[in-house]
Amino acid sequence: MIVVEPHGFCSGVARAVATAEQVLERNPGVPVFCLNEIVHNQQVVERLRARGMIFVRRVEDVPEGALLLLSAHGVAPAVKVKAAARGLRVVDAVCPFVSKVHAEVRNFARAGVAVICIGHRNHEEVIGVVGEAPEAVRVVESAAEVEALVLNPTAAGVGVVTQTTLGASQVDEVMAALLRRWPELKTPQSTDVCYATRNRQRAVQLLAGCCQRVLVLGSANSSNSLRLVECSQAEGTPSFLISDLRDLEGLNWDAIECVGITSGASTPEEFLNRVVQKLRDQQGFAGPEIMTAVDEHSPSFRLPDLEEK
């Protein structure tokens, strides 16, 4: 079996998880709430829940004055206003790459530019990004939606931003359709699809060419993990999302001599180790051989301000 590098935690997830752990450590005996999943990974969420973190879906579910952690996916400004109105003490673990997209939307909107966000409209990250300027931002998920887009005709141009965890081909297709309709489209200075997403996608493409089956370890609501499955499948290699060890049991292993493994940006390394062990013990695979497909230079982020406001 082959494990490809890079895989697993990105800098934004590592920062969010470390922030959550620090907040719990600094506040023994105090209820700590987290709005939505801190990152989209079941194992991470369950581990924090076991340490006492309380996950909620709405700010209204947090008692007044309590301590609230915001997830790596970011929130709309209105959510922070609501938290302040309830007197909540907030620690924001938003990934700096997501903050970059929020800032781009604010800048476009301030300049009177109509903003198109390429992304999945029900994903928390996109909901937060749209919330920066709801009147100015429209979301497109696919090239097919571009024709039907209705933008403010008096806007001072059209700009585009992108969800950070999209697949490269999805972005390219939508971007091409947007440029056909608005050749003067304003784009951010650098791509919004983050380094970790791009590197893990490139790596899984190369991995797919070297094995008969690819396993992508990650949760079903993890956008970047789902994109890895798509990237790998696009190379013609049967690829499966594995979110639980039991998922391995549903697969037919006959005639599989080489299996490739990667994991999404929010998947803990312990889960990968358990999958590797199970494949050794139950399917008799040797290894893993480590394949470094992309040289990754991860940014190192400082933790957010832990003195809650």
Interface with ligand SF4 (CB under 6 A): 10-13, 72, 95, 97-98, 164-165, 194, 196-197, 224, 265
Q: Which residue is nearest to ligand SF4 (CB)?
A: 12
Q: Do 231 and 204 meet the contact criterion of CB atoms below 8 Å apart?
A: yes
CA-based nearest residue to 203, from 186, 226, 228: 228
Tell me the closest approach of the beta carbon of residue 289 to ligand SF4, in angstroms. Answer: 26
Choice between 182 and 195, CB closer to ligand SF4: 195
Among 185, 276, 169, 262, CA closest to 218: 262
**Contact between residue 119 and residue 141 where contact means Cβ atoms under 8 Å apart:** yes
**What distances in angstroms separate CA 220 from CA 92, 217, 244, one per listed residue?**
24, 10, 10
Nearer to ligand SF4, 1 or 265 (CB): 265
95 or 275: CB nearest ligand SF4: 95
Closest by CA position to 77, among listed 56, 105, 53, 96: 105
**Residue 67 CA: distances (Å) to CA of 88, 91, 199:** 6, 8, 35
Instruction: Enumerate residues 6+ apart whose C-beta is below 8 A from 86.
Output: 59, 60, 62, 64, 65
User: Which of residues 213 and 227 has its CB atom nearest to ligand SF4 in the complex?
Assistant: 227
* Shortest distance in whole angstroms from residue 97 CB to ligand SF4: 4
Instruction: Give least dist CB 231 to ligand SF4, A.
Output: 14
Active-site residue, from 37, 104, 125, 141: 125
Work out how close the CB of 59 gets to ligand SF4 at its nearest, in angstroms, rounded to a whole number.
22
Structure letter (DSSP) for residue 307: S
Task: List the helix and strand counts (H, then E) for the chain.
Answer: 9, 12
Residue 184 known to be catalytic: no
Looking at the Cβ atoms of 48 and 62, the one nearer to ligand SF4 is 48
The rounded distance, in Å, linking the Cα atoms of 104 and 110 is: 10
> Taking Cα atoms as reference points, which of 110, 124, 123, 170 lies closest to residue 146?
170
Between 42 and 224, whose beta carbon lies closer to ligand SF4?
224
Least Å from the CB of residue 170 to ligand SF4: 15
- Please state whether beta strands 32-35 and 67-70 pair in parallel, antiparallel, or not at all (unpaired): parallel
Q: What does the chain come to in residues?
A: 309
Positive or negative: CA dihedral 14, 34, 53, 217: negative
Minimum Å gap between C-beta 160 and ligand SF4 is 17
Beta bridge mates, 263: 217
Active site residues: 125
